Amino acid sequence: MPAQLIDGVLLSQQLRADIKERAAKLTAAGKQPGLAVILVGEDPASHVYVRNKVKACGDVGFHSVLEKYDADLTEAALLARIAALNADPAIHGILVQMPLPRHIDPSKVIEAIATSKDVDGYSVLSAGELVANLPGFRPCTPYGCMKLIETTGIDLRGKHAVVIGRSNTVGKPMALLLLQANATVTICHSATPDLGYHTRQADVIVAAVGRRNTLTADMVKPGAIVIDVGMNRDDAGKLCGDVDFAGVSEVAAHITPVPGGVGPMTITMLLMNTVESAERVHSASQAPGQAKGMEPKPGIA
Ligand code: NAP
C-alpha cells in the first residue's frame, strides 16, 4: 500500500494560523513580535530566502526589519549592527542569512546574537541547551521535522530512528530531538560503510544529505516513517529530495514529499521561535522578578 503523505504545506498553514493568533494577542498588548533579517552580499538564492522570510513575517502580523548590506561590509560593522539589534526591544529574533562573504567569520557573527534572540538556534549556547535538554530555540529545520513526525500520531518512544547526515544545523540537532523524544538514534554520514544496513532497521528515517536517491526502496523497512530534508535538482532541473520518492513510498507508511514537505516547515518554525521569544519577553514583563523560562519543546522528556 502506498505511504501516506505527510503534508508540510497543510501543517505549515495550521501552525501559521496559530502563530498569527498569538502574534495578534501580543500586538494588542503592545508587544508585537519582531524579527530582524540581515543580508550581506548579492547571493541570488539568499535574496529569495530573505524575501520569503520577511513576507512570512508580514503574513502572520509580525514587525520585520530587513537590513541589506553590500558584500564589502566589514565584520566589525556587522557585529555592531547585531549589538544594536540585541538591545532593540522591538526585535525578538535576529537572523543573519548565510553564507556570508569570505572576509566575515560566520561563527563570530552567530555567537554575537543574544541567545534570547537566536531564533535560528545556531549558536553554541543554543546547541548546548539542546544537548542538555534545557528549554531554548531549536534549529528550525529539525524542529519542523519533529512537527511533521508528530502528525503521524506515532509515539517515538522505543522506536529506532536513523538520521542520515551530521551537519550542525540539521543532522546533529535532528538526532538530539529524536533522542529527547525517547527514540533510539543512529547517526549515519559519509564514512558509514553500509548505509542500508542501518536504515533497514529504522522505524523512522530522516535523510539530510544533499544527494538525490541516497535512500531507495530496498533500504527501507516496510511501515517506516521517512522524512526527506534534502533539496536537490533532478536531471530535468526539477526540485527533488534525497529519497527516491516513487520507490520508497511503496514501502514506507508515511513520507514527506519534496517539494511540500520539510521545506515550508523551516520558515514556519522560524516564526514559531520568534513568537515564543516575544511571548517570553512579554510574560517576563508581566511578572517582573519571575522571568518564566521557555516552555519545553514537544518531544522533550
Ligand atoms: P551538509 O552540511 O552538506 O551535510 C550533509 C551531510 O550528509 C554530512 O553530514 C555528510 O557527511 C552526509 N553525507 C554526505 N554524503 C553521504 C552519503 N553518501 N551517505 C551518508 N551521509 C552522507 O548539508 P545540510 O546543511 O545538513 O543539508 C542537507 C540537505 O538538506 C541539503 O540538500 C540541504 O539543501 C537540505 N536542507 C533543506 C532545508 C529545508 O528547509 N528543506 C533546510 C536545510 C537543509 P559528512 O559529515 O561525513 O561529510
State yes or no: pLDDT of 71 exceeds 80. yes
Is 25 assigned a catalytic role?
no
Enumerate residues lining ligand 1, CB below 6 A. 141, 164-167, 169-171, 188-192, 195, 208-211, 229-232, 262-263, 266
Taking CA atoms only, the protein residue closest to ligand 1 atom 42 is: 141
Q: How far apart are CA 281 and CA 32, in angstroms?
A: 11
Looking at the DSSP assignment, which residues form a beta bridge with residue 254? 4, 225
State yes or no: pLDDT of 291 exceeds 80. no
Q: How far apart are CA 197 and CA 195, in angstroms?
A: 5
State yes or no: pLDDT of 298 exceeds 50. no
Ligand 1 atom at minimal distance to the Cα of residue 171:
26
Phi/psi for 69 (5° steps) reads -130, 155
State yes or no: pLDDT of 57 exceeds 90. yes
Choose among 10, 7, 70: nearest CA to 38: 70
Q: How far apart are CA 97 and CA 50, in angstroms?
A: 7
Predicted confidence band of residue 281 (pLDDT cuts 50, 70, 90) = very high
- Looking only at Cα atoms, what is the longest distance across the chain? 59
Looking at the DSSP assignment, which residues form a beta bridge with residue 99? none
Pocket test for ligand 1, best of 189, 212, 233, 244 (most atoms within 8 A of CB): 189
State yes or no: pLDDT of 296 exceeds 70. no
Provide mean pLDDT across the span 24-43. Answer: 97
Crossing angle of helices 262-286 and 8-28, rounded to 10° = 20
Pocket test for ligand 1, best of 6, 186, 190 (most atoms within 8 A of CB): 190
Percentage above 70 pLDDT, the chain: 95
Cell numbers for 47: 535574496
Radius of gyration of the chain (CA): 19
List the domains of the chain with CATH numbers: 28-116 (3.40.50.10860), 140-263 (3.40.50.720)
**What's the pTM value of the predicted model, to 2 decimals?**
0.95
CA dihedral over 243, 245, 249, 250, signed as positive or negative:
negative
Q: What is the pLDDT of residues 107-147, one digit of tens each?
A: 999 999 999 999 999 999 999 999 999 999 999 999 999 99
Q: Which of 31, 117, 118, 120 is catalytic?
A: 120
Phi/psi for 176 (5° steps) reads -70, -40
What is the predicted pLDDT for the residue at 287?
A: 79
What is the predicted pLDDT for the residue at 299?
A: 46
Cell numbers for 44: 541570488
- Residues in contact with 156: Cβ distance below 8 Å, sequence separation at least 6, in sequence order: 149, 178, 181, 182, 183, 204, 299
Q: How far apart are CA 299 and CA 156, in angstroms?
A: 9
> How many angstroms is it from 227 CA to the middle of ligand 1?
13
Predicted confidence band of residue 301 (pLDDT cuts 50, 70, 90) = very low
- Residues in contact with 18: Cβ distance below 8 Å, sequence separation at least 6, in sequence order: none
> How many angstroms is it from 145 CA to the middle of ligand 1?
14
> How many angstroms is it from 238 CA to the middle of ligand 1?
19
Instruction: Tell me what the pLDDT averaged over the chain comes to.
Output: 95
What is the predicted pLDDT for the residue at 297?
A: 52
> How many angstroms is it from 155 CA to the middle of ligand 1?
26
Q: What is the pLDDT of residues 206-216, one digit of tens each?
A: 999 999 999 99
Q: How far is CA 201 from the centre of its chain?
A: 26
What is the predicted pLDDT for the residue at 77?
A: 98
Provide mean pLDDT across the span 75-83. Answer: 98
State yes or no: pLDDT of 300 exceeds 50. no
147 close to 265: Cβ distance less than 8 angstroms:
yes
Amino acid in the structure at residue 295: E
> How many angstroms is it from 169 CA to the middle of ligand 1?
9
Ligand 1 atom at minimal distance to the Cα of residue 210:
32
Q: Which of 31, 97, 118, 228 is catalytic?
A: 97
Is 97 assigned a catalytic role?
yes
Pocket test for ligand 1, best of 170, 188, 206, 212 (most atoms within 8 A of CB): 170
Q: What is the pLDDT of residues 171-205, one digit of tens each?
A: 999 999 999 999 999 999 999 999 999 999 999 99
